[in-house]
Amino acid sequence: MIPVLRPDIDEQTTQELIAVLKSGWWGQGQKTFDFEKQFAEYVGAKYAIGCNSGTAALDLCLKVYNIKGGELITTPFTFVADAIVGEWNDMDVTFADIDEDSFCLDPKSIVITDKTKAIITVDSHGRLADIDGLRDKFKGLIIEDAAHAMYTPGAGKKADITIWSFQAVKSLPTGDGGMITTNDDKIYERLRTLTWLGVEKNTFQRVGAKRYTWDYDITQADGLKAYMNDLTSVIGLGQLRRIDELTAKRRAIQAVYNEAFKDVKEIKIPMYSHTCQYYTMKCERRDELSDYLASNEIATSVHFKPLNMMSYWKKAEKRELKVNNRVWKELLSLPVFNTLKWTEVEKIIRCVKEFYAR
Ligand SMILES: Cc1ncc(COP(=O)(O)O)c(C=O)c1O
pLDDT of amino acid 214:
75
Give the separation between CA 344 and CA 358, rounded to whole angstroms: 21
Minimum CA distance residue for ligand 1 atom 16: 79
Radius of gyration for the chain, computed over Cα atoms and rounded to the nearest angstrom: 21
E-assigned strands of 60-160?
Answer: 71-74, 92-95, 116-122, 141-145
Give the separation between CA 127 and CA 137, rounded to whole angstroms: 21
Residue 307: DSSP 8-state:
G
Going residue by residue through the chain, which has 358 residues, state the pLDDT in tens, using 9 for 90 and above.
999 999 999 999 999 999 999 999 999 999 999 999 999 999 999 999 999 999 999 999 999 999 999 999 999 999 999 999 999 999 999 999 999 999 999 999 999 999 999 999 999 999 999 999 999 999 999 999 999 999 999 999 999 999 999 999 999 999 999 999 999 999 999 999 999 998 877 555 656 656 567 778 788 888 999 999 999 999 999 999 999 999 899 999 999 999 999 999 999 999 999 999 999 999 999 999 999 999 999 999 999 999 999 999 999 999 999 999 999 999 999 999 999 999 999 999 999 999 999 9
Structural contact between residues 164 and 173, judged by C-beta atoms closer than 8 angstroms: no
Q: What is the pTM (predicted TM-score) of this model?
A: 0.96
| CB atoms near residue 22 (< 10 Å) | 7
pLDDT of amino acid 205:
62
The reply to whether 11-238 and 243-357 are identical in fold is no
Q: Note the CATH number of domain 243-357.
A: 3.90.1150.10
Terminal C-alpha separation, the chain: 23
Q: DSSP string covering 136-200, please?
A: HH--SEEEEE-TT-TT-TTTTSSSSEEEEE-BTTSSS--BS-EEEEES-HHHHHHHHHHTBTTBS
> Where are the domains positioned within the chain?
11-238, 243-357
Helix (H, G, I), strand (E, B) or coil at 63: helix
Q: How far is the CA of 263 from the centre of ligand 1 (A)?
A: 34
Cβ of residue 165 lying under 6 Å from some atom of ligand 1: yes
Which residue among 4, 55, 163, 273 is best mutated to probe the pocket of ligand 1, counting the most ligand atoms within 8 A of its Cβ?
Answer: 55
**Residues facing 199 on adjacent strands:** 218
Q: How far is the CA of 142 from the centre of ligand 1 (A)?
A: 17
Cβ of residue 253 lying under 6 Å from some atom of ligand 1: no
Strand order in the sheet with 279-283: 267-268, 279-283, 331-334
Give the separation between CA 341 and CA 249, rounded to whole angstroms: 10
Cβ of residue 76 lying under 6 Å from some atom of ligand 1: no
Give the separation between CA 250 and CA 162, rounded to whole angstroms: 23
Q: Cα separations (Å) of 353 from 46, 218, 349, 357?
A: 47, 62, 6, 6
Give the separation between CA 135 and CA 275, rounded to whole angstroms: 24
Give the separation between CA 29 and CA 278, rounded to whole angstroms: 33
Q: Does domain 11-238 have CATH number 3.40.640.10?
A: yes
**Residues facing 162 on adjacent strands:** 144, 181
Give the separation between CA 286 and CA 266, rounded to whole angstroms: 10
Q: Positive or negative CA dihedral for 350, 353, 357, 358?
A: positive
Cβ of residue 105 lying under 6 Å from some atom of ligand 1: no
